[in-house]
Structure 1
Amino acid sequence: MKKNFLKVACAAMALAVGVTSAAACGSSEEAYFIGASGPLTGGAASYGIAVQNGASMAIEEINAAGGLDGVNLKFEMLDDAHDSTKVPNNFSNLLEKGMQVSLGCVTTVPCLEFKNYARENEVFFLTPSATGTDVPDGEHGAFQMCFTDPAQGTKAAEYVKANASDKKIGVLYKSDDDYSKGIHDAFMAEFTDAEKANIKTASFIESTDFSSQIAQLKDCNFIFLPVYTEPASKFMVQAKDKVATDAIYFGCDGLDGVDKVEGFDINSIPQEVSYLSHFNANATTGKAGEFVRKYTEKYGTDTLNQFGASAYDCVYALFDAMKAAKDAGKNVSPSTSAADFCKILIEEFTTDGFTFSGATGTNVKWNKDGTVSKTPEKNIVKAATNA
């Protein structure tokens, strides 16, 4: 999707509706336009809907408070159904509508496709949730609010070393899944060969029968699960009478929402279930607690997760950067081009003085490569019970 192609598309659209000039194509009216692509239908819809909700809630709050020096922001997300082949058309449509800045995509594979077009057309994006290592590219305006997959593995290893050094450690991961294997590999890389010798690992491809993996891990009392909710819930159900009741199941952001898996009663699991993440959906205080309260009042709890909180923070972080740039005398207006915004925001997000605090972190900073720097926390989904 080269710039020339988009210009031709704009001109064609202008002629089709009887507009005498193509200049209107790409205009954003009198508002700053943030666009995004994400799954609003299909198996990953709960993630996309959460992002749409979180971003929309932030936009509403900012506009109610007067916008950016009296000018509103607007947000639109187009459905990609977690299908990267839908991204080119979504990107083209958003750019033709006047997208100046973006949240990219919700999931990694579509976001990598989005990244290609964003780079070619100089569109800055801050993705709330595409965790792939190939997503960020600070030099060309591709930034993350979320941790990369390896970073989650590294942080998890740091947590285990600091808090579970006296435990018998086990790891269950999905060997054919980039997310799971990426976290597993980064996690294991933090341990010495002597330490690795005391860590039991079990892998799987099909998530139906975990009897073999349970046999390998049944003596462990701290089991790291860098997997998604569906296989994690099946493993825990099958292992609940075989793994010690005082054991701890500990995952990364893939376990967010495990208590909402259809047909899975997390309270039937005697072990503690927890995960390391930048957002706690059970928070009652601070900015995270404030987000939980407002989101629940507006949308309920079905899609209350880190995706929505991260999108909420993305919008506020973009707003803060845009305001800082405008206050510094830079050309920030509803008519500022996406390419100019890209240059401005790269500079703002990578300057030493720019920090952000929100629902997913305090004193958040961004590295030159577009990755985020913040501290995750352990979230207990369900405490251990006597079963």
Structure 2
Amino acid sequence: MNTRFTAKFVTICAATGLAVSLAGCSGGSLSENSGSDSAAQGNTITLGSITTNSGTAAAYGEAEVAGFKLAISEINKAGGINGKKVKLESMDDKGDPTESSNAFNKLSGDDSVLAVLGPTISATTAAVAPLADQSKLVAIAPAATADSIESGNYLFRACFKDSYQGEIAARFAAKTLKVKKVAVLYGTGDPYSSGTAESFMKEAKQLGLDVVDQESSSSADDTEYSSQLQKIQASGAEFLYAPYYYSIAGPYIIPQARSVGFNGVVMGPDGYDGLKLTDNVSLYNKVYYTTHYSPDDKENSKVADFIKSFRSENKSDPNTFSALSYDTVYMAKQAIEKAGKNPTREQVRKALAGSKFDGVTGSFTLDKTGSPKKSVIVLEMKDGKPVFNSTVKPA
């Protein structure tokens, strides 16, 4: 996730009790020798992990570790990977790019580490990307969504990129809601907001939608949007794409849109998770947003099994980050199995590139940037609560 969204989701985890224990994990003793061309020998396969287990983003990392551990436990109970048990070597980067780089360098120096799970947030993942290429050690980031991260060589993602959400929202507007006239409101000073809006407009035009108005604010933190929303209302738009964060869209943009008479659909990206509401929850009817996972997704049979296993192991419900990290382990497993009995790191990378995968967070094929073109969950606000609406599959 990007830095702003990281802070947002940590708040949600604390409020809803989704986060697991905040106890950090540390790695064991590691070899100083380069293992970029070494094969997986012996009876154990080691997967390294780099997550944020302390500091303000600890809820993110701990939820990911819970997903990693569950998947590895299942794999080992089923006989391991190529008959070998899987070991997790876990490192805490404290949400700091330097700490993340140091952790990755330690893991890459251990010949037994065949792939790295993580890092957690976009800032730490961006620091690791060039190191993964240099050491020829695959890293799979569960939740780092920023488009700016250099991926596609040895760094891959289990999550979709920020801009992909804009494309999916345009497709949902055209194919599912079947609207014709759409408008956009975004914050020019925020890459997440402006980048997602740009991808929405590009896809909307390709799909034949009429972008009748395009409005902006100087940042994604403003609290007054009435003038822009009045123009949008006057444009005749049926659908408004407003990629802001939960703390702005909820108490400001949506109520202000309704107050100027806009009764059409309002849609946003995963920044709407934990949407802050006013007392009048009826204002949020016809509000949708895209996200990575929903426990109410009945279309994906893997979801129910995952939730049952997670509850049994952790005595709590999984969140998005646990689901993404769970899939990350199985992505690594699939690649290692495809690479052969005693694969090198380079062989794992080759097996992972362009691969197809079916997981809890969707079915996808990795594109040339190492990012999924995957199914996206659309949630709809009903009576003030987000509920599963549908799954939008890749084009």
TM-score (norm 2): 0.74
Deviation at 1:113, TM superposition (A): 0.7
Q: Residue type of the partner of 1:230?
A: S
Deviation at 1:95, TM superposition (A): 3.1
In 2, Cα distance between equivalents of 1:273 and 1:35: 40
1:371 paired with 2:386, answer no
Matches within 5 A, 1:7-18: none
Is there any run of 5+ residues in structure 1 with no aligned partner, and where? 1-16, 333-339
Contact 1:174 / 1:227 at 8 angstroms: preserved in 2?
Answer: yes
Q: Residue type of the partner of 1:45?
A: A
Sequence identity of aligned pairs in percent?
Answer: 26
In 2, Cα distance between equivalents of 1:182 and 1:265: 31
Tell me what 2:316 maps to. 300
Q: 53, 56, 59: which is aligned to 1:40? A: 53
Tell me what 2:96 maps to. 83
Matches within 5 A, 1:122-137: 122-135=136-149, 137=151
Q: 106, 109, 114: which is aligned to 1:100? A: 114
In 1, Cα distance between equivalents of 2:281 and 2:89: 38
Q: 200, 217, 225: which is aligned to 2:242? A: 225
Tell me what 2:269 maps to. 252
Deviation at 1:62, TM superposition (A): 0.9
Deviation at 1:168, TM superposition (A): 5.3
Q: CA RMSD in A?
A: 3.6
Matches within 5 A, 1:313-324: 313-324=327-338
For 1:28-57, what per-residue CA distance to the aligned partner results, in whole angstroms no more than 9, with x for missing partners?
Answer: 985322223232233433322222221221
Deviation at 1:135, TM superposition (A): 3.0
Q: 125, 129, 132: which is aligned to 1:111? A: 125
Is there any run of 5+ residues in structure 2 with no aligned partner, and where? 1-28, 386-395
Contact 2:33 / 2:109 at 8 angstroms: preserved in 1?
Answer: no
| Number of aligned residue pairs | 348
Deviation at 1:310, TM superposition (A): 1.5
In 1, Cα distance between equivalents of 2:283 and 2:310: 28
1:202 paired with 2:202, answer no
Instruction: Name the CA shift for 1:119/1:165 in 2 (closer, same or farther; >3 Å).
Output: same
Contact 1:245 / 1:384 at 8 angstroms: preserved in 2?
Answer: no
In 1, Cα distance between equivalents of 2:278 and 2:103: 35
Deviation at 1:296, TM superposition (A): 4.3
Larger radius of gyration: 1
Q: Residue type of the partner of 1:190?
A: E
Contact 2:220 / 2:244 at 8 angstroms: preserved in 1?
Answer: no
Contact 2:281 / 2:384 at 8 angstroms: preserved in 1?
Answer: no
Secondary structure of 1:33 counterpart: strand
Instruction: Name the CA shift for 1:360/1:123 in 2 (closer, same or farther; >3 Å).
Output: same
Q: Residue type of the partner of 1:254?
A: G
Tell me what 2:391 maps to. none
Contact 2:129 / 2:154 at 8 angstroms: preserved in 1?
Answer: no
In 2, Cα distance between equivalents of 1:361 and 1:192: 26
Tell me what 1:344 maps to. 347
Contact 2:302 / 2:360 at 8 angstroms: preserved in 1?
Answer: yes
Q: 59, 83, 86: which is aligned to 1:70? A: 83
Instruction: Name the CA shift for 1:201/1:96 in 2 (closer, same or farther; >3 Å).
Output: same
For 1:131-159, what per-residue CA distance to the aligned partner results, in whole angstroms no more than 9, with x for missing partners?
Answer: 22343533x32212222222222222222
Contact 1:277 / 1:378 at 8 angstroms: preserved in 2?
Answer: yes
Q: Residue type of the partner of 1:162?
A: K
In 1, Cα distance between equivalents of 2:365 and 2:252: 36
Matches within 5 A, 1:257-336: 257-258=273-274, 267=281, 269-284=283-298, 286-297=301-312, 298=314, 300-301=316-317, 304-305=319-320, 307-326=321-340, 330-332=341-343
Deviation at 1:177, TM superposition (A): 2.0
1:380 paired with 2:393, answer no
Tell me what 1:359 maps to. 360
Deviation at 1:246, TM superposition (A): 5.2
TM-score (norm 1): 0.76
Contact 2:201 / 2:211 at 8 angstroms: preserved in 1?
Answer: no
Tell me what 2:63 maps to. 50
In 2, Cα distance between equivalents of 1:268 and 1:299: 34
Q: 127, 141, 145: which is aligned to 2:154? A: 141
Contact 2:196 / 2:243 at 8 angstroms: preserved in 1?
Answer: yes
Contact 1:36 / 1:103 at 8 angstroms: preserved in 2?
Answer: yes
Contact 1:274 / 1:382 at 8 angstroms: preserved in 2?
Answer: no
Instruction: Name the CA shift for 1:81/1:273 in 2 (closer, same or farther; >3 Å).
Output: farther
Q: Residue type of the partner of 2:270?
A: D
Greater Cα shift, 237-246 or 64-73: 237-246
